[in-house]
Amino acid sequence: MHDTRAKNAYMKAERASAELRRGGHVMLRLNNGEAALFRGAEFADGEDINFLSRLAGSGPLLVLTANRVKSLQRSLRQGWPAATVALAAHHYEQVFDLAFGQTRLDDNCGLSLVAERSGSLADHATRLLRKSKLLPTALMARLPFRDIAAQDRFAQEHNILVLEARDLESYHHQAGTMMRIAARARVPLAVAEDAEVVMFRAEIGGEDHFAVLIGKGAELDAPLVRLHSQCITGDVLGSLKCDCGDQLQAAMRLMAENGGGVLIYLAQEGRDIGLLNKMRAYALQDSGLDTVDANHALGFDTDERVFLPAARILDALGITRLRLITNNPDKISQLEKCGIEVEERIPLTLASNPHNEDYLATKKHRTGHMIADKDKG
DSSP secondary structure string, 108-166? TSS--EEEE-TTSHHHHHHHHHHHTTS-S-EEEEE-S---HHHHHHHHHHTT-EEEEHH
Which one of 130, 305, 312, 375 is the catalytic residue? 305
Q: Is 171 exposed, middle or buried (0-12, 13-18, 19+ CB in 10 A)?
A: buried
User: What whole-number distance in Å separates Cα of residue 139 and Cα of residue 137?
Assistant: 7
User: What whole-number distance in Å separates Cα of residue 251 and Cα of residue 238?
Assistant: 16
User: What whole-number distance in Å separates Cα of residue 70 and Cα of residue 75?
Assistant: 5
Active site residue 303: yes
Which one of 194, 290, 301, 303 is the catalytic residue? 303
DSSP state of 82: E
Phi and psi, residue 77, nearest 5°: -60, 150
DSSP secondary structure string, 27-73? EEE-TTS-EEEEEEGGG--HHHHHHHHHHHTS--EEEEEHHHHHHTT
Active site residue 208: no
Q: Cα dist. 47→44, 60, 87, 276, 325 in Å?
A: 8, 12, 13, 25, 51
Listed residue (295, 322, 292) closest to 310, CA to CA: 322
- Name the residues annotated as catalytic: 303, 305
